[in-house]
Structure 1
């Protein structure tokens, strides 16, 4: 069986960057991705715009040309998927990794379509696959959505948006402007300070004028077929009519996968262990890259500040070469 120098799990921007860095250094690599190329970006809201400017989203020094100061989802898809096409990158798509195990030296990676052997493994899986559930009655009703794509299905509907981060604010503003009756339920006392600076005044003004209702220091306690029950900071309960709930409560890495791979998870945020200089985990030659490094703190790492992980990983691999005659 062929032995890869490096197997990369995840074809997001950081996974692609790791592959490009491996290729530049003549390392035999493969990317395995459970969906399409930059699958998380594909599942973003259709009209989403990045906080970062285009040059801060570039990988491998390849120019990202955008027609706007802040590039949108479609431009990013064209950029990253275009790189994969142009470079003819070695990617296996729609193939999910089931297990990563290691003998004395080599990794065996089992997927839905086969097994692979590698000297090094990089996990660059992001965090967009597992919604952070509210764990309340009615959360499994069909009207509850943990992913938001576009506003048109919610025209003339009574919509509750849960949360106050960028995704929640975008959903509230877009659905309101397509004719929805929008109510925001926010656990904190104000709209998140991390909301994009050009959007934050918009949502605050819509709330102030009463176009969008907002309940702060509040929490949903039950979702029914035609209503939502929530409580405020004094534990008073209220029930309002409702057609859809957009639960923009965030997402989590696949902690079970990390744990089953042998990676130590620490603290309340389940921060995975890794060396901050090399990105190597407690398992020798097993690395983390990108937003997965943050555990539950999914705002810690993003494309702009984790592009450096690829070079750190490859430099560490090159500084610790394997014996030439290693076999499986």
Structure 2
């Protein structure tokens, strides 16, 4: 079996940034991606626009040249595909990794769910967090009209749509659905929308709520979902209410795949799900196994984005190449 220097698991922006750094170092690497390149971005709402400006989600030093300040989903997909081609990155698509195992000789075996096996000296997990939605664990959550991902508005015109959550994804979906003639209700456990909602969306959604064009049930939680309706409870009064729900989107966030991390031997905090890793080298409790990007965030996914996750790649490449990043950091601090 061919032994790569490094296998990168995950072909999102951070995984691609990792591949670029490894390519620059002249290492023999391979990126394994369970879907296509930047699969998580492909699954974003089709009209989504990034919160970050274009230069903040660039990788490899290649300019992200667009006419607007912030990129939309399609522009990002095109950009990252072109970056991968420019650097001639080595990847294998539609390989769903099940686990890694460190061998007595120090190398790693990487097993996929379809029976493929790869071998490398080092492994970098850059799997992000978009594949594992936060579950409400309520009756009816798995019904066919319920989803943890919103796509586009056209299917839902003239229907009753309930959005659970008060962050960007819920607000953006509500505004788009309302403008395509859906009857929209937002259910959120807090007293108002989350403070991290994109600033340009806040006046829009609040004005639509004031006009009665988007309905809200704040301080409310989901208790049960049935075909055509949903039971909610006001957490202040304890009162319950059935509301019409032809379609339900549970947009309450996503998590890194803790089960994959566990199967790779990485120790996680039982409460926060934050994995064990060195904050300067990003090496885990398994020597030679690294984390890159949001996969290291545990439940705190809002703390790591493309713009800071992409920087992990350079530090990991330095450590793999034997460069003492601590001494470099100390030198920079003295300067």
Shorter-chain TM-score range: over 0.9
8 A Cα contact 1:160 1:246, kept in partner? yes
Alpha-carbon shift at residue 267 of structure 1 (Å): 4.3
CA distance in 1, matches of 2:311, 2:63: 16
Deviation track 1:187-241 (CA, whole Å, cap 9, x = no partner) reads 1111011111111111111112211110111011011112111010211001122
Gaps of 5+ in 2: 325-335
Q: Distance in 2 between matches of 1:240 and 1:220?
A: 11
The alignment partner of 1:271 has SS state of: coil
Deviations for 1:247-295, whole angstroms, at most 9, x for unmatched residues?
A: 1111111111101111110142211111110010011010000011101
Distance 2:263 2:98 in 1: 10
Equivalent position SS for 2:303: coil
Q: For residues 76 and 321 of structure 2, what CA distance do their matches in structure 1 show?
A: 31
Aligned-residue offset at 1:172: 0.7
1:293 maps to 2:296: yes
Q: How many pairs were matched up?
A: 321
Indicate if the aligned counterparts of 1:95 and 1:113 stay in contact, CA closer than 8 A. no
Corresponding residue of 1:102: 102
CA–CA distance in structure 1, aligned partners of residues 233 and 175 of structure 2: 23
The whole-number CA distance in structure 2 between the counterparts of 1:249 and 1:191 is 12
Match of 1:326 in 2: none
Supply the distance in 2 between the matched residues of 1:36 and 1:113 (Cα, whole angstroms): 19
Give the one of 199, 212, 215 matched to 2:214.
212
Q: Deviations over 1:103-126 (max 9, x none)?
A: 231101112252111111000000
Q: What does the per-residue CA deviation read over 1:50-80, in whole Å, with 9 as the maximum and x for residues that have no partner? A: 0111111111101111121111000000100
Runs of 4+ in 1 over 3 A off after TM superposition: none
Deviates more, 1:30-39 or 1:266-275: 266-275
1:319 aligns with 2:322: yes
Looking at structure 1, the residues matched to 117 and 140 of structure 2 have their Cα atoms a distance apart, in angstroms, of: 40
CA distance in 1, matches of 2:16, 2:196: 27
Aligned to 2:12: 12
Q: What is the CA distance between 1:88 and its match in structure 2?
A: 2.0
Match of 1:92 in 2: 92
Tell me, yes or no, if structure 1 residue 3 matches structure 2 residue 6: no
Structure 1: give runs of 5+ residues left out of the alignment.
322-328
> How many angstroms apart in 2 are the aligned matches of 1:266 and 1:272?
6
How far is 1:87 from its partner? 2.2
Asked if the contact 1:38–1:77 (Cα under 8 Å) also holds between the matched residues in 2, the reply is yes
What TM-score do the two structures reach when normalised by structure 2? 0.94
Q: For 1:70 and 1:282, how far apart are their aligned partners in 2?
A: 38
In structure 1, what is the Cα distance between the partners aligned to 2:176 and 2:141? 23
Does residue 198 of structure 1 match 2:169? no
Task: Indicate the residue corresponding to 1:119 in structure 2.
Answer: 121
1:140 aligns with 2:142: yes
Q: 1:40 aligns to what?
A: 40
Residue aligned with 1:51, SS: coil
RMSD of Structure 2 on Structure 1 (CA): 1.2
TM-superposed CA distance for 1:140, in Å, is: 1.4
Deviation per CA, 1:24-64: give whole Å up to 9, x if none.
Answer: 01010000001000000010000000011111111110111
TM-score (norm 1): 0.96
Distance in 2 (CA, whole Å) between partners of 1:305 and 1:138 is 37
- CA–CA distance in structure 1, aligned partners of residues 294 and 203 of structure 2: 28
Distance in 2 of aligned mates of 1:30 and 1:197? 39
**How far, CA to CA, are the matches of 2:306 and 2:146 in structure 1?**
29
Q: 1:226 to 1:125 in 2, by over 3 A?
A: same
Tell me how far apart the structure 1 counterparts of residues 229 and 59 of structure 2 sit (CA, whole Å).
46
Q: Take 1:32 and 1:113, find their aligned partners in 2: how far apart are those partners?
A: 14
